[in-house]
Amino acid sequence: MRAGGALGAIAILGVVATACSDEPSPVSSDMSSRDITITVAIDGTAERTRVSGYFATPSSQVRLVGGDTLTVVTETTARHLALRDSTFQIDLPPYGGPVAVRLTRPEGRGGDVEARARVAPPFVVRPPDAARASAPVTVTWEGGTRRDFATTLSLTGPCITPQSRPLGLDTGSYTFNAGELEKKGVAARCSVTAKVVKKLDTAVQSATVDFPITP
Amino acid sequence: MLCGWTGSARATEPPKAERRDAEKPKVEHPFDTVRLGAWGSTWAGTRLEGLGSVAHVARPALDLELAVRRYFSPRFGVDIRLVGFPAMRDDNHGYLRGDIGIDVLFARWDGAAKGGITGVVGIGGDAGRYPFAGRAYPRLGLHARVHPGPSSTVEVAVEMLPVSLGVDGRVVQHRSELSFGWSLFQAGFRVSHAFHTVGAPERTFMIQELGIFLGVGLLR
């Protein structure tokens, strides 16, 4: 009887031992603000501004509970964000300016956590009229963005030599020289895409336009 | 007659050396113990993750133990306990604990189930395995021992570690043990709760441990 009891206790310990674990709690109320980092990325176009990002926390499956709320705040709107698998994403109307993703927390958890970004104003790219690869091709857009934005113009298509131009100044126009776009052995007309990207850290505002070009 | 009585009295009085021996405490003390065995336990609770977050932990543990209690007078004794198990390969679950203390017998009774109560004041230290380990601490405890039979014992021990040094934050720990002895066979149950207050923001993490002991004991 005594031996049976001892064996039973050992068996219970064995069962409990199989439940061995050492995992960070996925519940946000169990997390200190000092262990939370929010990374935000913005992909803006003339149609929408997509704000996305993720939480870097001790657990990769964080759930917001107990009064922790996540919001995205711009100069024109404030919207609640849902967190799924520690990531978030929301589409806002076209926007340019500062964006903040803010985790608002009750007292005693280490304070609010915020990630900030600034996105360039939305813009459109205008195609040249009757573009020819053998002639100068000028692409225009709304320029004048602050100098801390990196502006890049690219031109791609099946009948031209792909081009990419990092621009030190967002002048609002760029002209490719005659012959720069010509591709050897291609004499057909095609559609090309001009894309202008204005980037500051993880915030990107871009615009594209398709136009025909002839050799 | 008087001389004869006197002479008779002298004849029955033990010599001085024998009297001194009789006044000496007996070498065997009912609370003397040497115990050697193994603990199997599970510990579970929460621990600090990062700078102030919570992680849940549940793990088994195995420890070897040598416990010695030796009374050097009827009321006072020393209590020494070594507990531990080496880390296996790359794991970090090795553990070593050493406790030493002074036992003071302050209540004792006879009868069918003779026994007594002792208080323990001591110090200790541990390292490894537990999030709160790597510390030195004072010990305050009470032991109650009953001898239901000539070769059997039942003992209840409670111990409090009110503070700790050498580890981040504050640690308070309670240890309780219920042990049985039948001749050489020893068995026991152990419950321990450790409260570790640490982190930013400050939280109190709790580790609970439940264990059983099997071993051999030499009761003097």
With cut-offs at 50, 70 and 90, classify the pLDDT of residue A14: low
- The count of residues in chain B is 220
Among partner residues A16, A30, A108, which is closest to B53 by beta-carbon distance?
A30
Question: Which of A32, A103, A105, A112 best probes binding to B when mutated, by most B CB atoms within 10 angstroms?
Answer: A32
**A20 domain-assigned:** no
Q: Is B58 on the interface with A (CB under 8 A)?
A: yes
Same-domain check for residues A108 and A44:
yes
- pLDDT score at B207: 97
In this prediction, residue B5 has a pLDDT band, given cuts at 50, 70 and 90, of: very low
Regarding whether A195 and A115 lie in a shared domain, the answer is no
Q: Are residues A109 and A142 in the same domain?
A: no
Q: How confident is the model at residue A135 (pLDDT cuts 50, 70, 90)?
A: confident
Global pTM reads 0.79
Let me know whether A72 and A129 are in one domain.
no
Q: Are strands B95-109 and B76-85 parallel, antiparallel or unpaired?
A: antiparallel
- Residue contact A20–B49, C-beta within 8 A: no
Q: Please indicate, yes or no, whether residues A72 and A101 belong to a single structural domain of this protein.
A: yes
pLDDT of residue A168: 87
Neighbours of B76 (CB within 10 A): 13
The whole-angstrom separation of Cα B144 and Cα A142 is 87
B200 contact A CB<8A:
yes
Does A23 fall in a domain? no
Instruction: Report the distance separating Cα A170 and Cα A143, nearest Å.
Output: 5
Residues of A in contact with B56 (CB under 8 A): 21-25
**Shortest Cα–Cα distance, A86 to chain B (Å):** 16
For residues A129 and A199, state if they share a domain. Answer: yes
B18 SS3 class: helix
Rounded CA separation A199/A201 (Å): 6
Give the domains, in start order, of chain B with CATH numbers.
Answer: 29-219 (2.40.128.100)
Any idea what the CATH number is for the domain that residue A89 is in? Answer: 2.60.40.10
Q: Does the interface ipTM go beyond 0.85? A: no
Same domain, A171 and A190: yes
Contact A72, A92 (CB under 8 A): yes
Positions of E strands within chain A: 21-24, 37-44, 49-56, 69-73, 78-80, 87-92, 97-104, 113-119, 125-126, 131-132, 137-141, 150-156, 163-167, 173-176, 190-200, 203-214
Last residue of a domain, one of A88, A119, A150: A119
Q: What type of residue is B195?
A: F
Domain count, chain A: 2
A152 falls in which pLDDT band (50, 70, 90)? very high
Q: Are residues A202 and A156 in the same domain?
A: yes
Residues A98 and A136 occupy one common structural domain: no
Q: Between chains, do B53 and A35 touch, taking CB under 8 Å as contact?
A: yes
Task: Please say if the pLDDT value at position B150 is more than 50.
Answer: yes
DSSP state of B25: P
- Both A152 and A204 in one domain: the answer is yes
Q: Which domain holds residue A50?
A: 28-119
Partner-chain contact A32 B57, CB within 8 Å: no
Is A96 within a domain? yes
Q: Rounded to a whole number, what is the distance in Å from the CA of B163 to chain A's nearest CA?
A: 25
Flag if A110 and B52 touch (Cβ within 8 Å).
yes
Cβ-defined contact of A24 to B53 (cutoff 8 Å): yes
| b (16+ CB within 10 A) / e for B86-116 | eeeeeeeeebbbebbbebebeeeeeeeeebb
pLDDT by residue (tens digit) across A75-133?
Answer: 999 999 999 989 999 999 999 999 999 999 999 999 999 999 999 999 999 998 888 88
Domain stops at, among A100, A119, A138? A119
The answer as to whether A19 is a domain residue is: no
At residue A132, the pLDDT reads 85
Whether A62 shows a pLDDT value over 80: the answer reads yes
Minimal Cα–Cα distance from B41 to chain A, Å? 7
Quote the CA–CA distance of B192 and B175 in Å, as a whole number.
4
Domain membership of residue A178 (yes or no) is: yes
User: pLDDT: is B79 or B217 the higher one?
Assistant: B79
* Of the residues A101, A119, A137, the one at which a domain ends: A119
Burial class (CB in 10 A: 0-12, 13-18, 19+), A103: buried
